[in-house]
Amino acid sequence: MKKILPLILLVIPIEISAGGLAVFMPSHAEIICELGACGEIAAVGAYCDWPLEIRGKQKIGDYFRPDLEKIYSLKPDIVFLTSSANSTAASDLRKLNLRVEELEPEKNLKDICFTAMRIGKIIGRIEEAEIFCAKLKKDFSSLKPKTRKKVFFEIDSGLWTSGGGSFLNEMLKKAGLENVFSSRKESYFKVSWEAVLKENPDIIISNYSKPEYFYSLPMSSKVKAAAERKIFILDKDLRDMLVRPGPRSPYAARSLMELVNE
């Protein structure tokens, strides 16, 4: 028995390495593909939908409810995740003896590059990551909004919005928009319509509520955004792009800028 056991232990690891990368976050998938490693991705999280070539890949649930059985059966070499106290995915996957790489969530635009460099190091594409960073910097610096306007951004219906400590806040800034609630550092909270009225934003942008909803609220005519018909609802593409720190971020900021200045 003592002789057989080490033998078994030797044989098992050889058998199980099917390989590839498993990526939960849409932003990480976008960065990995941008670094030219799309082909190495074996499986993606439920919300990964860009670039188009990853849509056909195996789905492994989402970050809060990972499909552990499927991931285990795919035996990826590396699993990419965002580190967060909100999810036990990383520790669960480590218990399955998988290599898990946790990346810090991005707080500002520079962090995109930081994440890309880390991914580049892990998958052996540092040069590509450096090129990507340089391009990203150039793209962002080419954005020169002419005006600074105050914006109220509704993330979820019911006037849920975001404060100054968020990635979204930075994206808004790049698009020439100043979040009216940026003095709060919390990244997700609800405000009252009264508070929005008091801030009197020039522009209102919502992920889900139609402009008609805002026009129907009491005293909406007192808000500059309503008086000047500057209330917008985002389509799914732009909505996703805005909150994914990745290669499309400069494009998202530009699209937003064009939308509100049309």
Partner 1 sequence: MNKVKVLILVSLTAAAAYLSLSYPHAPKDILLNLRFPRVLQGFFTGFSLAVSGAILQGILKNPLADPFIMGVSGGAMLVLLFCKVFSIPDAYFLPAAGGMAAAYFSYIVSRKFSGFSNAGVILSGIAVNAFITALITIFVIFRKDDLIYFFHFSFGNISGVNHREIIYFSIMSCLVFLFFFLKRKSFLAMAFDEVKAVSMGLNAEREKILFFALASLLASFSVGMSGLVGFVGLVGANLARFIFPFSSREYILSCGFIGALLTVSADFAGRAAASPIEIPVGALTAFLGAPFFIYLLYREGKR
Binding site for partner 1 (CB under 8 A): 156-160, 181, 184, 186, 189-195, 197-199, 208, 217-219, 222
Q: ω into residue 211 within 30 of 0, thus cis?
A: no
Residue 195 CB, shortest distance to partner 1, in Å, is 4
Q: Which of 103, 172 has the CB closer to partner 1?
A: 172
Residue 157 CB, shortest distance to partner 1, in Å, is 4
Q: ω into residue 247 within 30 of 0, thus cis?
A: no
Q: Which of 140, 213 has the CB closer to partner 1?
A: 213
Residue 217 CB, shortest distance to partner 1, in Å, is 5
Give the residue among 117, 148, 92, 133 at the shortest CA–CA distance from 261: 148
Give the residue among 199, 191, 203 at the shortest CA–CA distance from 151: 203
What are the helix (H) ranges across 108-248?
Answer: 110-123, 126-141, 167-174, 193-199, 211-216, 224-227, 236-243
Residue 115 CB, shortest distance to partner 1, in Å, is 25
Q: Which of 46, 126 has the CB closer to partner 1?
A: 46
Residue 76 CB, shortest distance to partner 1, in Å, is 25
Q: Which of 68, 195 has the CB closer to partner 1?
A: 195
> What's the full length of the chain, in residues?
262
Q: Which of 82, 220 has the CB closer to partner 1?
A: 220
Separation between Cα atoms, residue 239 and residue 156, nearest integer Å: 11
Please report, as a single letter, which amino acid is at residue 213.
Answer: Y
